[in-house]
Amino acid sequence: MQDLPNTAQGRWFFNETMQDDLHLALAHDNVDPRIGVISVGNSIPSLPTRYWGFTPAASGRVNADFSRVTADGLTYCYQNFVGATSPIRHVLIQLISATRVRIEGFVGVLCGDPSTWAFTAGAREFAR
């Protein structure tokens, strides 16, 4: 397990079921830990079920390593996924509290201007 308290890093649960396909993991690749991974089940309509790998950034809010994403009120954006296919997406993530995370995918390659990063009614929340 890669759960890191008070950060976005780790496993997140959509509801009380034990089915893995409903849940979310924000972690590092199990073969190459230099790669960050958004592992999505089928509970986020805006993101197809798959492994979304990216190179974590040491600073800033684009492709931030999940260990740096805290409940600071900010939204973080992820882009340039390894092996991404059409339609290519970018992903917004916000740690709402130590135990709740919000996530949503958007069609469009790049995150763009942070002032435009906004969740819609399609965002999903997960708990720890």
Res 88: pLDDT: 77
The pTM for the full model equals 0.92
Q: What average pLDDT score do residues 6-34 get?
A: 84
- Report the side by side order of strands in the sheet with 100-107: 76-78, 89-97, 100-107, 124-127
Position 18 pLDDT exceeds 70: no
Position 20 pLDDT exceeds 70: no
Tokens of 38: 């958004």
Res 86: pLDDT: 67
